[in-house]
Amino acid sequence: MTNKNKLSTRFYSIKNISVPQLIEMHKLFVQYYNNAEFETFATDMGNKTGVFILEDKLSKRIIGFSTWTELELDHGNEKAIGIFSGDTVVDKAYWGDKSLQKAFAIKLFSTKLKNPRKHVFWLLISKGYKTYLLMTNNFHQFYPCHQHHNPKLESIVDEYCNKLYPSAYCSKSRLLDFGDEYQNLKEGVACITPEMRDENRDIDHFAKLNPTWEKGTELPCAGEVTISMLLDFMQRNMIPFKKKQSRQSLRQKAGQVSKELGDDLRQRADSQNLELS
């Protein structure tokens, strides 16, 4: 087990990423992906809004990162905000650590709080089941879902895929195919066994929808960011659990945590000149 006190997570706007940081992130990326040339990696990174970097405080070594891109979407007759999550990699020695997830959730929460009248959607493309489970395990409303069909979120998927990847998106299969030279997971990184499919319906659903995931095809997904979803995330991941606590008590604590997070976000923005929205 790793010591979470030795890790730090910080969000950088892309314009503030240094060349040494970019090279170090690429070195981590190629440990888990094939067809990951530096030029392609750097070009793709340059199209992002920002990136979360997970770092070992003692060695100052980058041990994980996750990209963040903001898009404007149409939602009926209203404008909505899309948060596109691209590459996410964590050193195998730190698998299971949720620092990146928590940092991402805080920024999602901040974005929703600053835009309470707008719909906010998390957008991701998944070539492996682990990324897909991030959505199924944390969102109340998401697409695709094995339990029910959501036409609204399906239309969001169509919109952002046609906007970002028009030549790779197939509206019939609802998969993204970037060709044989596209990045794909190395063998053994996120394999799916028959037992896993039998035990987890979400993993089985992913494998059915994206049967060619081993070749690098991506399953596009979307989930709506709501205050209740974020409160539930904090209850499960940021608040110490006690059996006898009532739901009302937990929500009161979640509200206090959200206030403290908001204060902390503003202080960090002032002190580090971070872009939080």
Residue 21 lies in a domain: no
User: What letter represents residue 196's amino acid?
Assistant: M
User: Domain range for residue 121?
Assistant: 68-272
Pick the closest to residue 156 from 147, 148, 144, 168 (CA basis).
Answer: 144
The stretch 9-14 carries a mean pLDDT of 95
Residue 72 lies in a domain: yes
Strand, helix or coil at 172?
coil
The stretch 8-23 carries a mean pLDDT of 95
Residue 109 lies in a domain: yes
Q: What are the tokens at 70?
A: 């903001």
Residue 56 lies in a domain: no
Residue 218 lies in a domain: yes
The pLDDT value given to residue 261: 55
Count of domains forming the chain: 1
Is pLDDT of 11 > 70?
Answer: yes
Strand, helix or coil at 64?
strand
**H-run or E-run covering 122:** strand 120-126
Residue 26 lies in a domain: no
- Are 254 and 235 within 8 A, CB to CB? yes
Work out the mean pLDDT of the chain and round it to a whole number.
83
pLDDT band at 48, cuts 50/70/90?
Answer: very high
Is pLDDT of 209 > 50?
Answer: yes
The C-alpha atoms of residue 200 and residue 101 are separated, in whole angstroms, by 21
- Number of Cβ within a 10 Å radius of residue 33: 19
Q: What are the tokens at 194?
A: 């028959």
The pLDDT value given to residue 273: 47
Residue 135 lies in a domain: yes
End-to-end CA distance of the chain: 33
Q: Between β-strands 142-143 and 120-126, what pairing exists: parallel, antiparallel or unpaired?
A: unpaired
Residue 60 lies in a domain: no
Is pLDDT of 184 > 70?
Answer: no
- Are 145 and 219 within 8 A, CB to CB? no
The pLDDT value given to residue 211: 93
- Are 113 and 125 within 8 A, CB to CB? no
Max Cα-Cα span within the chain: 54
Which stretches of 11-128 are DSSP H helices? 19-29, 38-46, 99-114
